Amino acid sequence: MTDHLLRTASVAHTDLPRNNGIPLDMGWIESVRVNRSAVERRAATLVTRRTVKQIWQAAWLLRAITFLDLTTLSGDDTPSNVQRLCAKARQPVRADLLAALGASDLPVRVGAVCVYHNLIETAVEALRGTSIPVAAVSTGFPAAQTPLRLKLEEIRESVAAGAAEIDVVISRAHVLRGDWCALYDEVRAFRAACGTAHMKVILAVGELGTLRHVAQASLVAMMAGADFIKTSTGKEAVNATLPFGLVMVRAIREYYERTGYRVGFKPAGGIRTAKQALDWLILMKEELGDAWLTPALFRIGASALLTDIERQLSHYATGRYSAAHRHPMP
């Protein structure tokens, strides 16, 4: 693998100024318009206009690993499978594959490990000695149908347990009723409870009704101080799709142009193949540029995805696809 590939795949976890938020701007929110046909056409053609092949594809896939929030959010999660997940986070690609790719010296590690609240301490201990943060889902994930006081207490307890990032879920009813003041106040309260922990705001886009609602909710969340906006919990019937993502990243771009704050983006739910991961990287590069292609501003929430990325890297290194069981996930 060439030196250029090594530089391309190596990405630092950059510290950036946090989004402090701004007062709720109802004029801006009400002015939002989304042309659904144009969005769908752009999303459909985006990934056909730019292709990544051969050595460049291997580089992009190594880079995609650094954006992963390696996640386990199942009802049968146990400390042992979280420990195995954290071991995979420490060494996401087999050492022999990295050697074959000439990438043994690269800091190839995931962006974070994402777990339920009760397994935060297990994950923190398993990742001790690394710079990999633990993210926790909170605020009554995934439905968010619990009282606000309990949501705030859950956030505070997750931070106290060692979570450096909190993935909060909005109350979809605020969006569906167009109650933007209530949504702003809710997210603002979440941000205060997070303290120094970074806050990713999950919009659950598949349940918001329209693309205009997705754009409006994205802007309100950012005005309230979101460090990231995230598509989905992964538990909805429809999760991360490129049209939803396109609307959200354009809201991020508009917010940056007006305020100077860079807000991150996290698609999650249903992203299982290396090809899908490349599609999301292309979306980010085309719409937001290289400045957003860093773990500080872009994450992909997934678990099974890493197995397929490893299989593609194996194909590049050996010319053959290996069986999925050779790249096990917990």
Q: How many residues appear in the chain? A: 330
158, 196, 266, 10: CA torsion to nearest 10: -110
Are the beta carbons of 314 and 274 closer than 8 angstroms? Answer: no
Q: Which residue is catalytic, options 88, 151, 200, 266? A: 266
CA distance 326 to 330: 12
Amino acid at 287: E
**Hey, what are 45's tokens?**
């053609």
Q: Which residue is catalytic, options 88, 227, 230, 279? A: 230
167 catalytic? Reply is yes
CA distance 63 to 298: 11
Q: Which residues contact 160 (CB under 8 A, 6 or more apart)?
A: none
Q: Which residue is catalytic, options 167, 227, 279, 308? A: 167
Instruction: Give just the sign of the alpha carbon dihedral 68, 72, 78, 80.
Output: negative
DSSP state of 14: -
Residues taking part in catalysis: 167, 230, 266
